[in-house]
Amino acid sequence: MAHEVSPESYKDLVLFLATAGIVAPLFKRLRINPILGYLLAGVILGPFGLGRFIPVAPWLNHVTVDKPDEIAQLAEFGVVFLLFMIGLELSWERLRLMRKLVFGLGAIQVVGGSLALGAAAMLLGQAPMAALAIGAALTLSSTAIAVPVLAERRRLHSEAGRATFSVLLFQDLAVAPILITLEILGRGHGGFQPRDLISLVPAGIGLGVIVLVGRLALRPMMRSVAKAKSEEMFMAACLLVIIGAGLVSALSGLSMALGAFVAGVLLAETEYRREVEVKIEPFKGLLLSLFFVSLGIRLDLSLLVAHPALILGAAAGLLVVKAAVVFGAGLAMGLDRRAAIEAGLILAAGGEFAFALLDNAVGAGVVPAAIGHAVLVSETLTMFLIPALAALGGRVGRRAPVAQPSEAPPRSAPVQHVGDEPAGQVLIVGYGRVGRLVSDMLGRHDLPWLAVERDARLVEQGRREGGRIYYGDASRLELLERCGLATAKAVIVTMDSPDSAEAVVAATRAARPDVSIVARARDARHAARLYELGATDAVPETIEASLQLSEAALVDIGVPMGLVIASIHERRDEYRKALNRPDALGGRRRRLRDASL
């Protein structure tokens, strides 16, 4: 017998999906950060928004969230997926180079911020233990909001962006020790004892297990799934890696987000990182949206109405103290003054982990419940200001570029650069026999290149030979962008599938009207189609084979080499002109290119 469907069971889910479908397009059209929209939607849909008026207007029950705790539990995966994606953009080598900022600037910010905020809480009448717990919770900043805002403003790889991320990473590492410390304080057994260090052992074991299993089993597992050529299985494997690493981390006393971050760093060293990014991006975006909605749901505005001076004063004090601590720590660690100001503004607001820390502190009796709730409201209000603070910091930190008189304005806006691939390389799509020969010729001329291939065996073989090759379906624009399409010098399509080659040419030309596209064609008809889609040059296999046979025969007969080469080039140009009609997109691109030379 089929289970009876209850509309009430799906009401919260439908409300969230409706919010996601309305808020993001609306706020993007208004050029307002969608994060603010999700936070405001959460406030309106939550029990402290429209939910307060249900006794007066019962129909509001249909448009309010009934189970905020369940949404909050699911929304935590938004931070988990975000940290995993951040890990994919890093590597062990880059983390090693960032160690000064992570363990230097990050440690100074956490310790200094905790002590400064704790001292402020004591001045306001809180007991020493409660003040320390409040300071430790408020010193943490929001990874879930700060990182997307920096990425949107293209400041994540700036000096301030690297410093901000380093501090956020150390804060994630510090969550577990802070929780353990709060637990010790809540026991009331007279302070710290040496045996309390045993509480940290499971955390170390958990991280060791994630790293060991990732090093030994991650690449073989992804290779096996890729060889199966199943989109569903590959996506399932990606989700298994994220959730599995997160659960191991959570069971060892750390945050799920930290475990997912480590898994991302391990995957970043494999040939599957770009395809994984494309697969996980929709999950990350949707779950992060849910996370922001859940933050808004927990905001009790009645406390703001009852104690406006206290709540707003605490929020302002939090921003000032944290910004000052980060600014001073940044200067001490050698940051540029502008970068220190920008990092201080971005990190000044509170973060999502404060909810978990203060909930634990209130549950352990370290912080009074009324004080904890008031602090959370103040902290949440500051999170609303992160986009504005990031914009202000960006104006301070970004030096205006000096325009060169000789520079011509760009003909078209380039596609947004995504990922960390170096600029100016040649992108090879397909790494079979033709693609390998192309990469070899590029290497002989010292031209950097990167290849994308769907066959896991070819990717594995190319990687063993030292090539920069990623596994994935290049017909999707998202993958091309993450492989450096925005700054590629040229795109060479060597795929033997006509349909796939046409999809890649069309997607590339739509994204980069200015890039040179050279494509392999099966025959003359296929070459004409590629020219219509925007290929700068299409090379038909049948015609090229005929020309090479003719060249060899003419030379063997005794015709002078110079005359043979000249005639072959002339015939090749005739074929190209016949196939690439003037009205074709490729023909128009060729005329524009020739005019610029």
Per-residue pLDDT of the chain (597 residues; tens, 9 = 90+): 455 556 666 777 777 778 877 877 787 777 777 777 888 888 888 888 888 888 888 887 777 887 777 777 777 888 788 778 878 877 677 777 778 888 889 999 999 999 999 999 999 888 888 888 899 989 999 887 888 888 778 787 788 888 998 898 888 778 767 776 666 665 554 455 555 556 667 777 888 888 898 888 888 999 899 888 888 899 999 999 999 998 998 888 777 887 888 898 888 888 898 889 888 888 888 888 888 888 788 777 778 888 888 889 999 999 999 999 999 999 988 888 888 999 999 999 988 778 778 877 887 778 888 888 888 889 888 988 888 898 888 887 665 443 343 333 333 333 444 445 666 789 999 998 888 988 888 888 888 999 999 888 999 888 888 888 999 888 888 888 888 888 899 999 998 888 888 999 998 998 888 899 989 888 888 888 888 888 888 888 877 777 778 878 878 788 888 887 888 778 777 777 777 666 556 555 555 555 555
Scan for tokens 């509309």, then name that residue. 7
Short-list 534, 532, 497, CA closest to 518: 534
Short-list 288, 297, 296, 360, CA closest to 130: 360
DSSP type of residue 60: G
Scan for tokens 């981390």, then name that residue. 249
Scan for tokens 């930190």, then name that residue. 397
Say which amino acid occupies 234.
F
pLDDT, residue 399, reads 55
Cβ atoms 386, 346 nearer than 8 A: yes
Short-list 384, 416, 352, CA closest to 153: 416
The residues near 211 (Cβ < 8 Å, ≥ 6 apart) are: 262, 266
Helix (H, G, I), strand (E, B), or coil: what is residue 473? Answer: coil
Short-list 128, 101, 132, CA closest to 114: 132
Say which amino acid occupies 225.
V
Dig out the tokens for 460 from the structure: 């594995």
Q: How many CB atoms sit inside 10 A of residue 53's CB?
A: 11
Q: How many CB atoms sit inside 10 A of residue 123's CB?
A: 9
DSSP type of residue 104: I
Short-list 516, 520, 559, 563, CA closest to 539: 520
The dihedral through the CA atoms of 160, 164, 166, 88 has a sign that is: negative
- Tell me whether residue 539 is exposed, middle or buried, using C-beta atoms within 10 angstroms of its C-beta: 0 to 12, 13 to 18, 19 or more: buried
Short-list 360, 356, 372, CA closest to 186: 360
CA distances to 52, 53, 254 from 59, in Å: 12, 10, 42
pLDDT, residue 595, reads 53
Scan for tokens 């994540």, then name that residue. 156
The dihedral through the CA atoms of 351, 355, 356, 360 has a sign that is: positive
Scan for tokens 């509001």, then name that residue. 60
pLDDT, residue 146, reads 86
DSSP type of residue 8: G
- Tell me whether residue 301 is exposed, middle or buried, using C-beta atoms within 10 angstroms of its C-beta: 0 to 12, 13 to 18, 19 or more: middle
Q: How many CB atoms sit inside 10 A of residue 15's CB?
A: 19
Q: Would residue 519 be called left, alpha or beta, if left means φ above 0 and alpha means ψ between -120 and 50 degrees?
A: beta
State the Cα–Cα distance between residues 587 and 597, nearest whole angstrom: 16
pLDDT, residue 348, reads 92
Dig out the tokens for 341 from the structure: 């100001």
Dig out the tokens for 171 from the structure: 């804060």
DSSP-assigned beta bridge partners for residue 471: 453
Helix (H, G, I), strand (E, B), or coil: what is residue 537? Answer: strand
- Tell me whether residue 197 is exposed, middle or buried, using C-beta atoms within 10 angstroms of its C-beta: 0 to 12, 13 to 18, 19 or more: exposed
State the Cα–Cα distance between residues 557 and 566, nearest whole angstrom: 16
Long-range contacts of 592-596 (CB under 8 A, 24+ apart): 593/516, 593/536
Report H helices in 153-255: 159-187, 201-213, 219-227, 231-251
Q: How many CB atoms sit inside 10 A of residue 69's CB?
A: 9
Over the range 211-223, which residues count as b (16 or more CB within 10 Å of their CB) and which as e?
bebbeeebbebbb
Q: Crossing angle of helices 561-579/524-533, nearest 10°?
A: 60
Segment holding 138, helix H or strand E = helix 128-138
pLDDT, residue 398, reads 63
Dig out the tokens for 589 from the structure: 């691109």
The dihedral through the CA atoms of 21, 24, 28, 32 has a sign that is: positive
pTM over 0.85: no
- Tell me whether residue 513 is exposed, middle or buried, using C-beta atoms within 10 angstroms of its C-beta: 0 to 12, 13 to 18, 19 or more: middle
Short-list 502, 503, 499, 539, CA closest to 523: 539
CA distances to 111, 155, 209, 274, 357 from 364, in Å: 22, 40, 30, 44, 11
pLDDT, residue 417, reads 42
Q: In what order do the strands lie in the sheet with 490-493?
A: 469-471, 449-453, 426-429, 490-493, 516-521, 537-540
